Chains A and B, each alone.
Chain A
Amino acid sequence: MVGMNAAWLLPAIPAGAFALLLLVRNFLPRKGDWVAIGAVTASFVLFFFVLHDLMTRLGPNFHGVSTGFTWLKIDNFVLRVGFFTDPIAIVMLAAVLVVSLMVHVYSTGYMHGDSRYGWFFTVLALFTAAMSTLVLADNLLLLYVAWELVGICSFLLIGFWWERQSAAEAAKKAFVTTRVGDVGLLIGVILLWKKVGTFDIQTVLHAATSGQIGHTYLTVALLFMLLGAMGKSAQFPFHVWLPDAMEGPTPVSALIHAATMVVAGIYLLARMLPAYMVITGLGTLIMVIGMITAIGAAVIACAQTDIKRIIAYSTLSNLGFMFVAMGAHALTGGMFHLLTHAFFKALLFLGAGSVIHAVETQEVGDLGGLWRKMPITMGTFVIACLANAGLPVFSGFFSKDLVLEGVMHGNTPYYVALLAWVFLSGIYTARLFMLTFFGPSRDHHRYEHAHESPPNMTLPLVVLAVLTLLAGWLALDSVGRALGFPGGVGEFVFVHEPEAYRFSFTVAFAATSAGLLGVLATMYLYWGGGPERARRFADYSPDVYALIRNKFYVDELYQAGINYGVLGLSHAVAWFDRYVVNDTGVNGTAQLTGWLGYRLKFLQNGKLPTYALAMIVGVLVMAIVALSMHS
């Protein structure tokens, strides 16, 4: 029986497809897109066998199953390619495989006719393999390798249309920004490994919870890891790369920059949560970071005009929300929101892609009235929007409430702030929807040419819409009981800390009212006459509007930081090398001491003697220190 022992096949199949496509894609019919789709489908089917196996084994004593083999064994340095299948991984895998499959299918339509069609699917296959590896990795080193690999895929796909200057720059920005976090992760991994002597995650967690690692040491290591999570999940202040990443093709935004790769940071925190729980202050830190990101991004989303960027800021906002959940140790809620968010955010992006495909613009100002032309897209989009706004019966409602409940206990200020977040989500979601589909069409030429997308694009939309409608109900005990897992997803997935969904009227009421208020207010602003009322509203305080419109000037701040910081430092060193060492060190000394009556023109570029001088200075410094050390 194929079961959890076959978990290694989940990444292996797409990896095989990647290798095949890399070598022979140009000789295959349709550039080999069917190979990638077939591989992901196979993984998807296999996933259900693994899931079934997991369900039969669940119980109080079940932690997970580890499979794999030793990759490198070098003296005391063992490197395993090991896969650890447990409930957290399964939840994340569900999101990865479902969205990946849908995006593959969708891309056959969206990318149709692109000159690098085959290459696109090649990288997608690699991404699916790497992402599954990341999720299933049972040791931190393998996780890190997969972590970097998805980063490379992201780099390649953001810069997919590298002829466009902006795309290439965005790719570089994303790569470099996340690399900062990656270095932190690597240092954290090495620190933990140094103390525990193994990369195995379960052993490390055990060591952390049983007090084998000193608190200060553990704090430092976890802080470095947090840096990695923040970079990947685009938390403040690393968030700048994610909106720019929208330069990539829209299916990529849906898969990598909404549903899967960007939540890897959340996943890492969830994975390491037992260790984070040991240190009391870290939870608060994570919550604060998440809160800043969540609220800040939601505010910015209210003033963007690019359809993809609005959704990107919405993603940022939701990522911040999940960070808050992790900080409050609301594991169940956080992971559940990760799953539902993957569905509805991918749906939003794919819907937006469908719109862009039809009208070939991303400016919401040029859209409007599209509901008549694109009924399926509109229908699915509205479901996604309602889920994003967290209104009842849609999946976002359940997961959001689960988190709110987790946060509420003992963290009242955060709870109140999150209610404000729900309100803001309502505003920008409604605005996005209204501007895109309702009101008069503001660009008649584009409107006339608009058409519904082909079935291979609408089918994934419908599937994701159905999932968005239904996934939330899995939280309920009664639904779970009917499907064979009493207690709902909370109890099923997290056997050791069952948090079955209990409908709490206060929370639901407060959150729903907040969200509804935001939606209704915005509908009032944008109803009928288009954005005029909203414009008047913005004119009340143009400065504030400009601040929001310009994303709080964080990018400009960074650019200045890069200009004056990193490059300045290297300029300084190069300048030092050129002028101080070369000219001033030579010139200045000569002038200062005045021993030699050389004129300036002879003092240029005393290269070879300068080189020798540098060597002797090195010798003397070392010799003097060494001699004074022992005398």
Chain B
Amino acid sequence: MNHYEVLAPELVLLGLAFALVTLELLFPQLRKDLVAYLTAASAIGVLVASAFFANRSDSFKDLIQLDNYTTFFRILFLGTAALLAIASAHLVRDKLSNAGEYYGLLLLGVIGATYMAAASELLTAYIALELLNFTLYVLVSFDRKDPRSGEAGLKYILLSAFASALLLFGISFIFGVTGTTSYAGIRHALEAGIGEYRGTLVVGLVLLLTGLGFKVAAVPFHMWTPDAYEGAPLPVTAYISIVAKAAGFALFLRLFSQAFMPVISDWRWMVALLAALTMVFGNLIALQQVNIKRLLAYSSISQVGYMLIAIAALSHDSATALLLHLGGYAITNLAAFIAIIAFYNATGGEEIRDFRGLAERHAGLAMTLTIALFSLAGMPLFAGFMTKFILFQAAAQHGLLWLSAFGVVTSMISLYYYLMVIRQMYVLKPRDGDGRLRVPLLTSAVLVVLALGIFFVGIWPTPLFRAAASATRLLF
């Protein structure tokens, strides 16, 4: 049972994180963007190495599972971290200090996120969640010059500690009624019948959903999200919206499919309710935003609504659809955020009206952002349509047609606020004195790859779908 190589990728990553911090400590004169590229190289190295774990199925003391599910998320997180490290290079060099720690934390967060996906036992899952949380607390408040950064950090850590306490109380109830913390054990205990302790069980489930809902930003547990998104340095915002969200869903999905399937009728309506609320609130409030980070915060909240549909309709189909959607969402959001980071580096603007006339100032940047926004709005041929469509149809097939319809209608609303941004970029003239923008070559290359990726997933999702399907097969 003690397969230590199961832990190898994270151990290597840990070593690399330490090495980066030490390197920066020993050579303070080192170019800070070089550290970023080293980080990206390390992440990609581990990514390639961990790809060799495909189709292996092992576990470490039944705490950490190595299966395709873990590998899927490991690759997703590492890829995201690598691209975000590249995107951070200029911003961190120019605006932040402690570059070594910044990139080290980026990698440590990936360890936490991966273990959230890999854990098959509540204690391990909890501690992994806290590791990710802690790195995010620090990263969100990383910008010492911007008072918004500290404020975001404060709100995030206090509310997150509150949510963790609720989550833990829920876990203690689950542990109380089942006598175990391992997913399989919980399922076993629940299958034996839950006659006399249903009350405690459902309260435990409610609290568990609260904690997880907070992590993935579901309404009404979402209120930290816009503030944290706006206050955090831009690459960290991207990191939260992709890695933290996907990790939350990874934990959510494995836990609920492996442990709580026997009592699905007790929690399905809760998740469905959260999904409906999240879609409605996220999309409607997004209409009123003027800051691009807040807009994307509400946009990502509404995406959570769609993803929760898959959990409410929990089955192999919908779980696969969820992973597929997460993959497409990661690519799309990366494209959007990296474009915005490039824009921010060149202009310092992050209000939507700062984007006016971008099409004339940098056609490529405007085009990439448009592609990403169209994908988020769910236009055909873009990733967002294909993944959302498969998700909705999976939900419809498992008895949640009304929720799918909800999703279709609210995603129509979403088009309106994405068009607001596109309108600024294409319809309006640049302000006087706004000249052409410069975007670093590497960033441009990354953006081109991501834009192609959006079309690839939108037109030919089979490879990603196969990966997702093989990842979720063992869950059911």
Query: CB–CB under 8 A between A and B in the complex?
Result: yes
Residues of A that sit less than 8 Å from B by CB: 71-75, 77, 144-145, 148-149, 152, 159, 162-163, 165, 168-169, 172, 175-176, 179-180, 183, 186-187, 190-191, 193-194, 566-567, 569-571, 573-574, 577, 607-608, 610-612, 614-615, 617-619, 622-623, 626-627, 629-631
**Given A176-B419, A574-B285, A615-B214, do A165 and B199 touch, yes or no (CB 8 Å)?**
no
**B interface majority secondary structure:** helix
Q: Which residues of A contact B158 (CB under 8 A)?
A: 608
* Distance, CA A566 to CA B281, complexed state (A): 14
Which 7 residue pairs spanning A and B have beta carbons closest together?
Answer: A611-B223, A168-B427, A626-B202, A148-B380, A570-B287, A618-B220, A574-B288
B10 at interface by CB-CB < 8 Å: no
- Assembled-state Cα–Cα distance A152/B370 (Å): 13
Interface string of B197-229 (1 = CB under 8 A from A): 011001101110110011000001101100100
Residue among B273, B317, B408, B462 making CB contact with A186, cutoff 8 Å: B408
Q: Check B199 against A176 for contact (C-beta < 8 Å).
A: no
Q: Are the C-beta atoms of A611 and B155 separated by less than 8 Å?
A: yes
B242 contact set on A, CB distance < 8 A: none
Q: Is the CB of A77 within 8 A of B390?
A: yes
Chain B 216-258 per-residue mask, 1 if CB under 8 angstroms from chain A, else 0: 0000110110010000000000000000000000000000000
**A626 contacts B380, CB within 8 Å?**
no
**B30 within 8 Å of A (CB atoms):** no
Contact B380 A176 (CB under 8 A): no
> If the complex has contacts A183-B408, A626-B202, are A612 and B381 also in contact, measured as CB distance less than 8 A?
no
CA distance A617 to B288 in the complex (A): 24
A168 and B426 contact, CB distance less than 8 A: yes
Check A627/B202 contact, CB under 8 A, given A75-B317, A165-B427, A614-B223.
Answer: yes
Closest to B377 in A: A179
**Pair A615/B210 contact, Cβ less than 8 Å:** yes
Name the residue on A nearest B265 (C-beta): A629
In the bound complex, CA of A590 to CA of B258 (Å): 46
Q: Please name 25 pairs of A and B residues whose Cβ atoms are closer than 8 Å in the assembled complex, sorted by A.
A: A77-B390, A159-B426, A168-B426, A172-B419, A175-B419, A176-B415, A183-B409, A190-B393, A190-B408, A194-B401, A574-B287, A574-B288, A607-B227, A608-B159, A611-B223, A615-B166, A622-B206, A622-B210, A622-B273, A623-B202, A623-B203, A626-B266, A627-B202, A630-B199, A630-B202
Interface positions, chain B 366-406, Cβ under 8 Å from A, are 379-381, 385, 390, 392-393, 396-397, 401, 404-405
In the complex, chain B residues whose CB is within 8 Å of the CB of A152: 379
Q: Are A162 and B202 in contact (CB under 8 A)?
A: no
**B90 CB-CB contact with A under 8 Å:** no
Closest CB in chain A relative to B128 CB, distance in Å: 22
CB-CB under 8 A from B392, the residues of chain A are: 190
A163 to B429, CA, bound (A): 8
Give Cα A573 to B288, complex, Å. 10
Query: A183 vs B377: C-alpha distance in the bound complex, in angstroms?
Result: 12
User: Contact between B270 and A622 (Cβ–Cβ < 8 Å)?
Assistant: yes
Chain B residues near A (Cβ < 8 Å):
154-155, 158-159, 162-163, 166, 198-199, 202-203, 205-207, 209-210, 213-214, 220-221, 223-224, 227, 266, 270, 273-274, 281, 284-285, 287-288, 316-317, 320, 379-381, 385, 390, 392-393, 396-397, 401, 404-405, 408-409, 412-413, 415-416, 419, 423, 426-427, 429, 460-462, 465, 469
CB distance from B7 to the nearest CB of A (A): 33
With A162-B427, A626-B203 known, 11 other A-B pairs at CB within 8 A are A72-B465, A74-B462, A74-B465, A75-B316, A145-B385, A159-B426, A159-B427, A187-B405, A612-B159, A614-B223, A629-B202
A617 to B465, CA, bound (A): 38
* With A179-B412, A622-B206 as contacts: A615 and B162 at CB distance below 8 Å: yes
B221: which A residues are within 8 A, CB to CB?
A: 614-615, 618
Q: Which residues of B contact A630 (CB under 8 A)?
A: 198-199, 202, 266
B220 touches A617 (CB 8 A): yes
* A567–B461 alpha-carbon span in the complex (Å): 36
With CB as the reference atom, state the residue of chain B lying closest to A146: B380
B396 A194 Cβ-Cβ under 8 A: yes
Across the interface, which residues of A come within 8 angstroms of B317, CB to CB? 75, 77
Q: How far is the CB of A188 from chain B (nearest CB, A)?
A: 11
- Taken together as a complex, chains A and B put the C-alpha atoms of A190 and B407 apart, in Å, by 13
* CB <8 Å contact, A162 and B210: no
- Report the separation of the CA atoms of residues A183 and B379 in the bound assembly, to the nearest whole angstrom: 11
Which of A183, A191, A194, A566 sits near B397, CB closer than 8 Å?
A: A194
| Complex contact A570–B284 (CB within 8 A) | yes
| Interchain nearest-CB distance for A411 vs B (Å) | 35
**Contact partners of B429 in chain A: CB under 8 A:** 163
Please give the distance in Å from B398's CB to the nearest CB on chain A. 11
Q: How far is the CA of A159 from the CA of B429 in the complex (A)?
A: 15
Contact B210 A619 (CB under 8 A): yes
Residues of A within 8 A of B270 (CB): 622, 626
Chain A residues closer than 8 Å to B460, beta-carbon distance: 71-72
User: In the complex the two chains form, what is the Cα distance from A52 to B457 in whole Å?
Assistant: 38
Partner of B284, one of A75, A569, A608, A610: A569
Q: Which of A180, A571, A622 contacts B209 (CB 8 A)?
A: A622
Nearest chain A CB to B171's CB is how many angstroms away?
A: 15
Q: Among A148, A163, A577, point to the contact of B379 (Cβ < 8 A).
A: A148
> B220's contact among A72, A172, A176, A614, by CB below 8 Å, is which?
A614
Bound-state CA distance A168–B396 (Å) is 36
Residues in chain B near residue A148, CB distance under 8 A: 379-381, 385
A8 to chain B, nearest CB (A): 16
How near does chain B come to A185, taking the closest CB pair, in angstroms? Answer: 10
| Nearest CB of B to A231, in Å | 12
Q: How far is the CA of A611 from the CA of B228 in the complex (A)?
A: 13
Distance between B207 CB and nearest chain A CB, rounded to angstroms: 7
Alpha-carbon distance between A602 and B30 when the two chains are bound, in angstroms:
49
- CB-CB < 8 A to A186: which residues of B? 408
Kindly report which residue of chain B lies nearest to residue A141, judged by CB atoms: B389
CA distance A612 to B163 in the complex (A): 9
User: What separation, in Å, do the CA atoms of A145 and B380 have in the docked complex?
Assistant: 6
Cβ contacts under 8 Å, A612 to chain B: 159, 162
Bound complex: CA of A630 vs CA of B198, how far in Å? Answer: 8
What residues of A have a CB within 8 angstroms of the CB of B401 in the complex? Answer: 190-191, 194
Chain A neighbourhood of B379, CB < 8 A: 148, 152
How many angstroms from the CA of A571 to the CA of B209 in the assembled complex? 30
Query: Could you tell me the distance between the alpha carbons of A191 and B163 in the complex, rounded to whole angstroms?
Result: 39
C-alpha spacing A573/B159, complex, angstroms: 23
Pair A608/B206 contact, Cβ less than 8 Å: no
Q: Which residues of B contact A176 (CB under 8 A)?
A: 415-416, 419
- Contacts of B224 on A, CB cut-off 8 Å? 611
- By a CB distance below 8 angstroms, the chain B residues around A71 are 460
A627: nearest residue on chain B (CB-CB)? B199
Indicate whether A610 sits within 8 Å of B223 (C-beta atoms), given known contacts A193-B393, A573-B285, A626-B203. yes
Bound-complex Cα distance A263 to B205 (A): 53
| Chain A residue contacts of B154, Cβ below 8 A | 608
Given A72-B461, A72-B462, A162-B427, do A180 and B412 touch, yes or no (CB 8 Å)? yes
Assess the A571–B159 pair: CB atoms within 8 A.
no
Chain B residues within an 8 Å CB radius of A149: 380-381
Interface centre among A144, A180, A190, A567 (most CB of B within 10 A): A190
Contacts A187-B405, A570-B287, A615-B162 known; A77 to B393 CB distance under 8 Å? Answer: yes
**Chain A residues whose CB sits within 8 angstroms of the CB of B274 once the complex forms:** 618
Which residues of A lie under 8 Å from residue B408 when comparing CB positions? 183, 186-187, 190
With a cutoff of 8 Å between Cβ atoms, the chain A residues found around residue B320 in the complex are 74
How far is the CB of B58 from the nearest CB of chain A, in Å?
Answer: 26
Smallest Cβ distance from A97 to chain B, in angstroms?
Answer: 23
A618 touches B462 (CB 8 A): no
Assembled-state Cα–Cα distance A176/B377 (Å): 12
Contacts of B412 in A (CB 8 A): 179-180, 183
Question: Which residues of the partner chain A approach B390 to less than 8 Å between Cβ atoms?
Answer: 74, 77
Set of chain B residues within 8 Å of A622, measured between Cβ atoms: 206, 209-210, 270, 273
Contact status B396-A573, CB under 8 Å = no
| Complex contact B469–A74 (CB within 8 A) | yes
| List of B residues within 8 angstroms of A629 by Cβ | 202
